Amino acid sequence: MDLKGFGMDAVDDADKLPETAINEVTSFFESAPPLTDAAETEICLKEFVDRNTSLSGINGKANRVVCVTSGGTTVPLEKQCVRYIDNFASGHRGAASTEYFLKAGYSVIFLYRRGGCQPFCSLLPDDPLLECFTVADDSIIEMDPLHAETVKKAITETRAAVADGILLKLPFTTIFEYLQILQLISASLRGLGPSAIFYLAAAVSDFYVPWESMALHKIQSASGPLDMRLAQVPKMLSVLRNEWAPMAFYISFKLETDKDILLAKADMALKKYKMHMVIANELSTRKEEVIVVTEQEKVTVRRDSTQAGAEVECPLVELVVDRHSAYIKKVDA
C-alpha cells in the first residue's frame, strides 16, 4: 500500500503550510452565514451512504460513491443579497458525468447549482414544458412527437435513480453553501476510504467578500466609480484532500480561455493539491475534448464525433472509472 503524498507530508514551495490553510478555512466557516437545513442534509447523507455501502455490488462496484459537483458558486456582495458575482457554468459537465457514473454502477451525490443542468435532461430544449407539449382541444396534454423520447428518458431515468437510492441531489447557490455542504459530504464519505471519488466540476469562486465585512443593505450607487476589494477564498481543496477525506480519489477541473496557461495550471494543481487527475478544459472547445492530466501522462479525451449526441463525458468517465479501479487495487494491495 502506497500512501506517499496522501497524508500530511512535506508540502512544496508553492503551498502554504497546512496549519495556515486550516486556520483560514476555520475562520472562513466561522464567519459564514449558517447553513439552513444542515441537520437534515447530514441525515440524508448518512442514510444515502449507509444504504449504498450495504448494496451487494451492482456491476461489481460495491461501495463506490462519487461526489459530483456542478455549476458555479455565487459571491454575495450584500448580506440581504441583491448583487452578487457569479461564475459562468451551465453545469452540463457535472450533469452528464453523473449519468455515466450511474451507468458504470456508482452511486452519485450530485452537488449542483440551483437551477443548473440536471442529469438525463441535457437533450431537452431550454424551456421543456412550453416547447415539448401542446394542449389539444379536448384539453388533453399531448407531447410533441419530436421530443417524446427525450422527455420520457429524462423523467423515467431521473425518477428511477432517485427511487433506487443511487442518486442524491443537493442544491447550493453561494460559495458559503457550497463549501459547507462539501464539508458535510466529505465527513460522510471519509469512511469509504479509496472507494469514494470527489469529481469537482463546479466553478468555485476564487474571491469573496467576507460575511462580516459585507454591507448589510444594498450598495448605493452614488456618483463616481465603485471600488471593491475581494478576499481570496481559502484553498479548501488542500484541506478537503489532506484532512477531511484523505483516502478518496480526487479529480479537479481547470477551465481557462487561454490555452497556453491551461496546461501549466493543470500541472500546478495536480502537484499543489495532490489531485489524482486534473481535467483541463479550454472554454471554446470544452464540449469536444478535454486533456486529462495525471502524474504519469497527459491524455486527450475526445467525444465520438461519428455518433450523433455522443458526449465527451462518456469516454472521460470511462477513463476515470478505470483509473479509480487501479487506485483501489493499489491502496488495498
Residue 267 binds a copy of itself (CB under 8 A): no
Neighbours of 18 (CB within 10 A): 15
For residue 263, CA distances in Å to 124, 255, 274, 278, 297 come to: 33, 10, 16, 10, 12
Residue 283 binds a copy of itself (CB under 8 A): yes
**Which range touches a copy of itself (CB under 8 A), out of 54-62, 141-149, 244-252, 267-275?**
141-149
Closer to a copy of itself at the Cβ: 76 or 194? 76
Residue 26 binds a copy of itself (CB under 8 A): no
> In the numeric block, which cell numbers belong to residue 156?
423515467
- CA pair distance 145, 132, nearest whole angstrom: 8
Choosing from 84, 187, 267, 294, the residue that interacts with a copy of itself (CB under 8 A) is 84
- CA pair distance 62, 27, nearest whole angstrom: 37
- CA pair distance 233, 208, nearest whole angstrom: 6
Residue 126 binds a copy of itself (CB under 8 A): yes
> In the numeric block, which cell numbers belong to residue 252?
479537479
Residue 121 binds a copy of itself (CB under 8 A): yes
Report angle CA 128, 96, 42 to the nearest 5 degrees: 95
Closer to a copy of itself at the Cβ: 259 or 298? 259
Residue 264 binds a copy of itself (CB under 8 A): no
Task: Enumerate binding residues for a copy of itself (CB under 8 A).
Answer: 74, 77-78, 80-88, 115, 118, 121, 124, 126-130, 132-135, 139, 141, 143, 148, 151-152, 154-156, 158-159, 203, 206-207, 216-218, 220-221, 223-232, 255-258, 261, 283-284
